[in-house]
A and B are shown apart, each in its own frame.
Chain A
Amino acid sequence: MADSEIVFRSASDLAALLKTRKLSPVEVVRAYLDRIDAVDPRVGAFITVTRERALAQAEQAERQIGAGRYRGPLHGLPYATKDMIATKGIRTTNGSKITSDWIPAYESTITARLNDAGAILIGKLHLVEFAMGTHLHAPFGLARNPWHLDYSPSGSSSGSGAAVAARMTPLAIGTDSGGSIRKPANSCGIVGLKPTYGRVSRFGVTALSWTLDHAGPMTNTVADNAILLQTIAGADPHDATAAAEPVPDYTKALTGNVKGLRIGVPTAYFFDGIDTETAAAVHRALATLKERGAVLVDVSVRNIELAGPAAAIIRLSEAASFHEKRLNEQAETFEPRVRQNLEAGTFYSAVDYIKALRLRTVLMEEMRRVFGVCDVMAVPASNPAPRLDAEATRSGSTSKPPPAPDTFDLGNMTGIPAIVQPCGFTTGPPVLPVGIQFYGKPFDEATLFRVSHAYESATDWHTRRPPLAGTAAAAKTYVPESAAFRRMNI
């Protein structure tokens, strides 16, 4: 099978071929490594490519599957993680000069579970510094949007979004403390799930904000997202906040049937400031689901306008606490915007922080009320991706309200799960993906997969291929500061 045929298949399709030995893990891994070589110099999604290790593991997987020791749907499939997830013996930079040479002596629970399932790490992915910096000043260069290289993939899981969209990996892990999985999923036209808080262990995930941080799957299809979550979800003795809630078989939710499913559609806030093309695409998506039997219900989320401000207080307070030692000893090493935000975070009082925490209780109660009348809530994800050079004039992710409504912090504040998937494209130029976001009840990721899969089955947005178009003019703004910060092949 040609490389191009392999990399444009879904992970689920590849898994079936690997299981039946119609395809070998070595062929699959080589195809993705070749794709990285061909595409990543323009996209900039990878900080580290684990080439030799991946090929050795692929050969091992080939022997295991050949000997009848097939481990499951991820066996022999490549994956990559945002580079703030610890990988034993493999540098984990956090996108920062400060930890650019950190080689963890331990494995995160997420990567340990993926490795145990036979998945093969092919690299570590770009992010803005400590998940709170800016793209144009990222020490490891710019990650670009595969739909147009002059546009941002959004962040902070920028490399995860770009790598999946550009078919450089079929499976990626991102983290989300205020939309950092869902924003790049929206901008790059892929599927990104922020699971329920506690659904996926945070052990080995570098903190931004302990109580807002989530890790989750980023993929090209809903089915791929489900099999990835299946592997990484569950209780973990290393993380006290990882929940003991049983993990259901998510593939059973992929029925395509939404008959009778109640979809809440907010009557206020979430569509304010959303561009007309995106809003129209979201309404068309809802009409598609209604045609398939879903029931649309008007809902309102009281006090939603406080989710963003309260999340910002919590995020910056916790981040300032996490980075306290670094701020005291090497503050000048941070990217200027990160340093500015962290130092500003020290100005919040305990009363402000606790007030923001109490607002979480208010919003959690509010979402319980909303989910009394619907099974999921649908909102626009955000506006399409911004130009990279436009980001240079914007503040960091935590200090200034974005022009679009903040549709993301609700999930981090309440811990409820949310999934973003493509629901159309702008007419352009440039042609960019637009996304819809579904919120679900705590630990009910299965229903999110159910509705997302039903919508995906009725449309073909997920089959479109990013053109890697653009002049890449913004590349002129980026010069790696030293060879140490260029992409590493190991």
Chain B
Amino acid sequence: MTNASHNAVFLSRRRLLQTLSLGAAQTSLACRQTDQERRFSIDVLRNVSTLHGSALTDERLEAIRPALERQASQLDAVRRFELDERIEPPTVFMAKR
């Protein structure tokens, strides 16, 4: 059993909801930060990493922080673009005539 799945066994429903809320808020916060300073704190990245299940070490988070900061503007461009709610993803991607 991996550490991640071991921990999951003991994660209460309340704790799970708290973690999800924290992660969502911090992801959102991280995005807003990019608009201003394009910097992510290690604390924010650690929490998001934990929530996503990758649990990267602080050393790895430091290593990937530049990549995340570089990607922030691309991510923002996509997030800011408003889509009509009728637009669906191509469910099985097949180019058609």
Q: Which residues of A contact B (CB under 8 A)?
A: 196-198, 211, 241, 243, 303, 305-306, 308-310, 312-313, 316, 327, 336, 339-341, 343-344, 346-349, 352, 354-362, 364, 395, 399-401, 414-416, 441-443
Cα(A336)–Cα(B70), bound, Å = 16
Pick the contact of A443: B63, B67, B97 (CB < 8 A): B97
Q: Are A355 and B67 in contact (CB under 8 A)?
A: no
Pick the contact of A354: B73, B89, B92 (CB < 8 A): B89
- CB contacts under 8 Å to A, within B82-97, are 83, 87-90, 92-97
Pick the contact of B63: A241, A305, A309, A340 (CB < 8 A): A340
Contact with A along B65-77 (1 / 0, CB 8 A): 0111011011101
Q: Are A343 and B89 in contact (CB under 8 A)?
A: no
Which residue of A is nearest B53, CB measured?
A: A346
Q: Are A241 and B94 in contact (CB under 8 A)?
A: yes
Q: Are B67 and A309 in contact (CB under 8 A)?
A: no
Q: Are B87 and A399 in contact (CB under 8 A)?
A: no
Q: Are A361 and B64 in contact (CB under 8 A)?
A: no
Q: Are A312 and B95 in contact (CB under 8 A)?
A: no
B39, chain A: closest CB distance, angstroms = 15
Which residue of A is nearest B27, CB measured?
A: A349
Which residue of B is nearest A395, CB measured?
A: B70
Q: Are A415 and B95 in contact (CB under 8 A)?
A: yes
Pick the contact of B94: A198, A316, A339, A354 (CB < 8 A): A198
Q: Are A344 and B64 in contact (CB under 8 A)?
A: yes
Q: Give chain A residues whose Cβ lies under 8 Å from the Cβ of B97.
A: 441-443
Q: Are B68 and A305 in contact (CB under 8 A)?
A: no
Q: Give chain B residues whose Cβ lies under 8 Å from the Cβ of A197.
A: 93-95
Cα(A25)–Cα(B5), bound, Å = 58
Query: Using a Cβ–Cβ cut-off of 8 Å, how many residues does chain B contribute to the interface with A?
Result: 33
Q: Are A344 and B90 in contact (CB under 8 A)?
A: no
Cα(A211)–Cα(B56), bound, Å = 27
Q: Are B95 and A416 in contact (CB under 8 A)?
A: yes
Which residue of B is nearest A331, CB measured?
A: B60
Q: Is B78 on the interface with A (CB-CB < 8 A)?
A: yes
Pick the contact of B95: A198, A306, A347, A357 (CB < 8 A): A198
B49, chain A: closest CB distance, angstroms = 8
Q: Give chain A residues whose Cβ lies under 8 Å from the Cβ of B92.
A: 241
Which residue of B is nearest A316, CB measured?
A: B71
Can you list 23 contacts pairing A with B, beta carbon distance less than 8 Å?
A: A198-B95, A241-B94, A309-B78, A310-B78, A312-B74, A313-B74, A327-B54, A339-B63, A340-B63, A340-B66, A341-B67, A343-B54, A343-B63, A352-B79, A356-B78, A357-B89, A357-B90, A358-B87, A364-B95, A395-B70, A399-B70, A415-B93, A415-B94
Q: Are B75 and A352 in contact (CB under 8 A)?
A: yes
Which residue of B is nearest A348, CB measured?
A: B75
Pick the contact of A399: B60, B71, B90 (CB < 8 A): B71
Q: Are A347 and B52 in contact (CB under 8 A)?
A: yes
Q: Give chain B residues whose Cβ lies under 8 Å from the Cβ of A198.
A: 94-95
Most buried by B among A306, A349, A395, A401: A349
Cα(A415)–Cα(B71), bound, Å = 24
Contacts A241-B93, A306-B81, A358-B87 given; does A344 touch B68 at CB 8 Å: yes
Q: Are B67 and A340 in contact (CB under 8 A)?
A: yes
Q: Give chain A residues whose Cβ lies under 8 Å from the Cβ of B60.
A: 343
Q: Give chain B residues whose Cβ lies under 8 Å from the Cβ of A358.
A: 83, 87-89
B33, chain A: closest CB distance, angstroms = 14
Most buried by A among B49, B52, B78, B92: B78
Q: Are A346 and B52 in contact (CB under 8 A)?
A: yes
Q: Are B93 and A343 in contact (CB under 8 A)?
A: no
Most buried by B among A327, A341, A358, A395: A358
Q: Give chain A residues whose Cβ lies under 8 Å from the Cβ of B96.
A: 442
Cα(A356)–Cα(B56), bound, Å = 25
Pick the contact of A359: B56, B63, B73, B81 (CB < 8 A): B81
Q: Are B77 and A306 in contact (CB under 8 A)?
A: yes
A417, chain B: closest CB distance, angstroms = 9
Which residue of A is nearest B40, CB measured?
A: A347
Pick the contact of A313: B27, B48, B54, B75 (CB < 8 A): B75
B81, chain A: closest CB distance, angstroms = 6
Contacts A243-B94, A360-B93 given; does A344 touch B71 at CB 8 Å: yes
Cα(A341)–Cα(B89), bound, Å = 24
Q: Are B68 and A442 in contact (CB under 8 A)?
A: no
Contacts A360-B89, A414-B95, A443-B97 given; does A344 touch B67 at CB 8 Å: yes
Q: Give chain B residues whose Cβ lies under 8 Å from the Cβ of A415.
A: 93-95
